[in-house]
Amino acid sequence: MTRRASQAPARRRAPRRVLPVVAGMLFLSALVRLGPGAGEVLASEGTAPAEAPSSPAEAPDELLAAFRAREERIAAREAEVEARLREIDLARAELQAQIATLQEAEARLSATLALAETAARDDLARLSKVYEAMKPADAAALFAAMDPDFAAGFVGLMNPESAAAVMTNLEPAAAYAISAVLAGRNARAPTD
C-alpha cells in the first residue's frame, strides 16, 4: 500500500438513524392532516393520538381564543413600549432644555469673567501709569511696603525707564525679591 493511499480520507457514511426520524415526521404529518378521525385508526392499531380535540368545531374556537389572547398581550406590550418611548422623548426634551439653559449660563459667566479680567487688567495698567508718573523715591516707598509678588506685577507693566528709577530707590533686598519674581514668572512656561 502506498503512502498516498493510507493518507486518503475515509468516507463518512450517513448514520442510519436518519431514516426512522424522517419516517416518524411523515407519520406525524399524516396524523395532523387526517384530523380527529386519525385517532380511531391509531386506537385500532394500539397507538393513541397525542391530544385530539373532542369535536372538530372546538379546535378553531380554541385557536381563535389563543390568538386573541396573544393579540391582547402584544397590544398591551406595544402600549407599554409606546408609553416608555413618550417618557424617553419627554426626558430627552427636558434634558435638551437644561443643556440649553446651562449653555446660556456658561456664556453669561464667560462674558462676566472676560469683563472682570479686562477690568482688572485695565485697573492694573492705570495704576502702573500712576506709579510711573510719581517721583521714583515716592513710588519706591510704596513698592517696599508691597508684597514682592504684587509689586512685581506693577514693575512688569511699567516702562523700563520708570521701573529702573523705582528699583534704584528700593533697598537691595526688596529690589532683589521683586527681580526674582519677575525673572521666575515665565520659568515654568513651555519652551516648545
Q: Is residue 9 part of a domain?
A: no
**Per-residue pLDDT at 4:** 54
pLDDT in tens, 128-155: 899 889 999 999 998 899 998 988 888 8
> Residue 171's pLDDT band (boundaries 50, 70, 90)?
very high
Domain boundary among 92, 118, 144: 118
Sole residue written with cell 368545531: 57
CA–CA separation, 154 vs 182, rounded Å?
A: 10
CA–CA separation, 137 vs 169, rounded Å?
A: 6
Q: Is 168 helix (H, G, I), strand (E, B) or coil?
A: helix
**Per-residue pLDDT at 45:** 52
**Per-residue pLDDT at 30:** 74
**Per-residue pLDDT at 124:** 82
Q: Is residue 145 part of a domain?
A: yes
CA–CA separation, 122 vs 143, rounded Å?
A: 20
What is the domain range of residue 102?
Answer: 56-118
pLDDT in tens, 92-113: 999 999 999 999 999 999 999 9
CA–CA separation, 1 vs 3, rounded Å?
A: 7
Amino acid at 119: A
Has residue 88 got a pLDDT over 90? yes
* Least-confidence region, from 16-25, 52-61, 69-78, 148-157: 52-61
Q: Is residue 101 part of a domain?
A: yes
Q: Domain tally for the chain?
A: 2
Identify the residue with better confidence: 113 or 37: 113
Identify the residue with better confidence: 116 or 82: 82
- As a whole number, mean pLDDT of residues 25-40 equals 69
Give the phi and the psi of residue 135 in degrees, each rounded to 5.
-65, 140
Whether residue 57 contacts residue 36, with contact meaning beta carbons closer than 8 Å, is answered with no
* Cell representation of residue 128: 502702573
Domain boundary among 118, 142, 172: 118
Whether residue 99 contacts residue 91, with contact meaning beta carbons closer than 8 Å, is answered with no
Q: Is residue 45 part of a domain?
A: no
HSE toward the beta carbon, residue 182, CA cutoff 13 A: 17
Answering whether pTM is above 0.85, one says no
Q: Is residue 163 part of a domain?
A: yes
**Per-residue pLDDT at 189:** 65
* Least-confidence region, from 36-40, 64-68, 157-161, 162-166: 36-40
Rounded to 10 deg, the angle between the 58-133 and 136-145 helix axes is 140
Q: Is residue 66 part of a domain?
A: yes
Q: Is residue 176 part of a domain?
A: yes
* Cell representation of residue 11: 468516507
Q: Is residue 73 part of a domain?
A: yes
> Residue 89's pLDDT band (boundaries 50, 70, 90)?
very high
* Cell representation of residue 64: 381563535
Whether residue 139 contacts residue 159, with contact meaning beta carbons closer than 8 Å, is answered with no
Has residue 75 got a pLDDT over 80? yes
On average, the pLDDT of the chain sits at 81
